[in-house]
Structure 1
């Protein structure tokens, strides 16, 4: 992309706010704004905290229903549908509106959360978690989009800080809640607590949101496509693109999760899934570029103009690669504390606070730099990537002793600050790197990229751990431990020490793998570097440009 094109691209997104954007009636104020922000923030709790709550309780769950070797699928099945549907829900929100989309997603999330709590075996739990993920993706996507629709662009930095801090706080609370519930021995309440929390948050939010929000100030226009049939709705939400994206994601994660663990890398199933995944990805890209060829097209889930927007695509890549380290720390550190350091689920959740607590501070710091002081994005992104890389490099050297080494909490603080700076910057760049009419799709795509990176990251690091254990543990021990890590306490003390050391080295290896994804974020810095550094102007728009 040459300099003139880049300058045009940035100017088209950043300059001359339209009359509808300046109309104060489009946005909420005062008490209604406070209630809406709090309501949407609480709605974010369950989808955000689910992964960290369940991860802290994963050992307890697997001990109760067995199959520790497949326990990662309790997380992965949720993440697969969660990530696969985020941009779909953003498209649905644009078609039916914010209020109906919230109700639909809650109607899926709540009953399947109850079904997870009633699951009799790991197969049922994995299946119900997949359906729960569909509803959770709706709650997360619609709530995040709603946050940006509540206020004008000049307030995006503040609302982004609030939304991101809600997310970070829920990540912080999640492990403690999961650990406390698991320590009682009844992990099923992790899923049963959904109903009252959703009722408290969703109904006040719906009451303060105007009808047809955020289009309540525009006259009702009869749509070209009447939603009088299922076919019309499928056209509106880009059903073919949805199927291709879900297929591509599911097949790829299946390859990473099962390859070298349940199935050999050269097995027919793994090779077939890998080939089909590649075909689905190519078909998805081809379909979206074709269906979105006309810039006036309303049906494309990922419009053609997104592919030509280098800033947006670079930001999307950054969200994808940063999704790996953020979830690896949340999922794997509690398991390390429980297996290597013999911590209880509650203790593991409390120890994770060393990583989770600095996240909100990193987010607010990054948004203050870029929003209030107009510091270019490349500096906050570089700072975040440096801290993450250093933090994970240090955590890959942790001693594998039963007693927890206190210095590792300092490493977690460094990592958490870095993750917060990156998250805050990526999230504020997402809506302002595209035009107003595309913001709901851009936010959905950004969320999906980060969570898809998380799903793939969990599959990769668990595959690394399982392969390491296979090389260093006898088959008989491996079978016992994969069935339930509680069997570790049945071995003699000396043997326990050796097993814990092997697990510890496996967890350290996971951290080394994560370093590569932290360092990959420097690619984003290079891609968005311009003669006039990209930053936020006084109107909340992106300014800068030139190669």
Structure 2
């Protein structure tokens, strides 16, 4: 091993064997292997005494934390803030039947690079990658605000999601590296508070903006604070963080470091996963819209998506069994872990209920109940407040009373089934019933419980070496579930609307209503009521589909059953 040091190996992945395998001292120690260097030092004796980490303190720490929380807030805000602006967007640039893609595009871009950005930052550097992510998010937020067509907006949203993925993953990692382990709980709570505020304020901001000014400020709003956060991070976040207190162990350029990352990161696996999901979502959202279910286009997309899914799992198996430089994005060990696979299935179904609810309920209040965007956001607060309460409640109960977490997951899944079944039972009345708020609270409470518990259970369900990948996988599969859920709900809703609007409107008028809800105001009062009732029935149908996804969480929970359930 010569004069090689552990920091050099860990930071830049220097090859130290003839088979070109990276040396990981920690994994060697865990396996109990006895490897000695030329100087006769065993692995149990550190080759280089690494000085204790000196954490940033004082005002500089608070400024960095504030800038990171601002980035996290803007990234999380981008999902709920758009929900109450969608109707206004479609009214100006058209494409009411395409507005699902505004959310789906962001989520797909977000999910596509969630894990890879963290891997790239290991070698290129946290600061460099984070600043690039902030730049991407800022530029494409401005581009979304300037979009002139629905197609432009959808494309820009996908690139904005890529920047958002980098913001989320890197800010979360850096926050945990800023402080010693004994302060993790405090800083984790800070992140939770940021998430709660973005969730609650997002629909309200979106509603207020679209009601009093143009919807374009929903996206342009990100630009000034993101620029400020970026400038602050340039100035106060140390270069080479978190290794800023130790001398450089390598003089690799960014290009050389990127090549190292490309050799280690599972680029092909990530692309296969993203492509398989994208084609599946496209087929589901376009079926019965631009193309029929029996069309060559739909069948081809579904077939290619199925082939890509098979290729993805075969590739991940090959990469895992080789145990080479490439770190699989989905280690094949996961496929042998029944509890973990069931948790991922639960995450997919949870993502569907969570994201579809965030998207559909505010839209229902605007179309069916003719509320303003802001009033619709106010009616949605019951759900957005109940979710974080559930996220806090479940881990607290589980830890205090030593309740197996699986029992709480099963309880929350059952609560969701009841809530969404009840949300799907409203009659054709255009009034908002008071009990609907109670159903929203149940749905939000159940979703919030499972969001936090699946994350909490992850370190206990997988091997230690897979902890980071597993944490990313939970978030990534939940977002993928949201994309798939939105696609399925879109297909079901469009099919219902096309069939039943034709019973009260002429074909031309029905098509016009589907493209822009503003067409409703030009119709006679009695016809408007009939159209809104059709939309009401379509939203009831969507809630019943979500009850099915919640039922999928119950099935997944039983598959997670183990003789020794996880207790914290």
Q: Is the pair's TM-score, using the shorter chain for normalization, greater than 0.5?
A: yes
Secondary structure at the counterpart of residue 449 of structure 2:
helix
Q: In the alignment, what sits opposite 1:94?
A: 122
Q: In the alignment, what sits opposite 2:145?
A: 117
Query: How many equivalent pairs are there?
Result: 519
Q: In the alignment, what sits opposite 1:250?
A: 278
Q: In the alignment, what sits opposite 1:5?
A: none
1:335 Cα deviation after fit: 0.7
CA contact (8 A) 1:57 1:345 kept: yes
Please report the TM-score for the alignment, with normalisation by the length of structure 2.
0.84
CA contact (8 A) 2:263 2:326 kept: no
**1:239-270 CA distance string (max 9 Å, x none):** 21222122111101011100112111111111
Whether 2:170 is the aligned partner of 1:142: answer: yes
**Change in CA separation of 1:108 and 1:260 when aligned onto 2, cut-off 3 Å:** same
Q: In the alignment, what sits opposite 1:370?
A: 398
Please report the TM-score for the alignment, with normalisation by the length of structure 1.
0.87
- State the distance in 2 between where 1:395 and 1:239 align: 42
- State the distance in 1 between where 2:175 and 2:429 align: 45
Is 430-439 or 443-452 further displaced after alignment?
430-439
CA contact (8 A) 2:457 2:566 kept: no
1:236 Cα deviation after fit: 3.0
**Change in CA separation of 1:384 and 1:145 when aligned onto 2, cut-off 3 Å:** farther
- State the distance in 1 between where 2:56 and 2:322 align: 33
Secondary structure at the counterpart of residue 342 of structure 1:
coil
Q: In the alignment, what sits opposite 2:103?
A: 75
Secondary structure at the counterpart of residue 78 of structure 2:
helix
**1:172-222 CA distance string (max 9 Å, x none):** 111111111111241111111112222444555666655544456888655
1:493 aligned residue (525, 528, 531): 525
1:503 aligned residue (535, 538, 547): 535
Greater RCO, CA 8 A, separation 6+: 1
Structure number with bigger Rg: 2
Whether 2:193 is the aligned partner of 1:171: answer: no
Whether 2:324 is the aligned partner of 1:291: answer: no
**Change in CA separation of 1:409 and 1:363 when aligned onto 2, cut-off 3 Å:** same
Whether 2:502 is the aligned partner of 1:470: answer: no
- State the distance in 1 between where 2:133 and 2:195 align: 18
Q: In the alignment, what sits opposite 2:409?
A: 381
CA contact (8 A) 1:369 1:380 kept: no
**1:259-312 CA distance string (max 9 Å, x none):** 112111111111111111111111111112211224564532223333334443
Is 436-445 or 469-478 further displaced after alignment?
436-445
Whether 2:345 is the aligned partner of 1:325: answer: no
Is 150-159 or 345-354 further displaced after alignment?
150-159
- State the distance in 1 between where 2:411 and 2:275 align: 36
Whether 2:555 is the aligned partner of 1:527: answer: no
CA contact (8 A) 1:145 1:444 kept: no
Whether 2:362 is the aligned partner of 1:305: answer: no
Is 81-90 or 296-305 further displaced after alignment?
296-305
Q: In the alignment, what sits opposite 1:51?
A: 79
1:65 Cα deviation after fit: 0.7
**Change in CA separation of 1:151 and 1:230 when aligned onto 2, cut-off 3 Å:** closer
CA RMSD of aligned residues (A): 3.0
Is 499-508 or 217-226 further displaced after alignment?
217-226
CA contact (8 A) 2:204 2:378 kept: yes
Is 338-347 or 477-486 further displaced after alignment?
477-486
CA contact (8 A) 1:117 1:190 kept: yes
1:315 Cα deviation after fit: 2.4
1:76 Cα deviation after fit: 1.8
Q: In the alignment, what sits opposite 1:352?
A: 380
1:269 aligned residue (297, 300, 318): 297
CA contact (8 A) 1:145 1:443 kept: no
CA contact (8 A) 1:48 1:170 kept: yes
- State the distance in 2 between where 1:243 and 1:121 align: 28
Q: In the alignment, what sits opposite 1:278?
A: 306
**1:499-521 CA distance string (max 9 Å, x none):** 11110000010000001111222
CA contact (8 A) 1:295 1:305 kept: no
Gaps of 5+ in 2: 1-29, 32-45
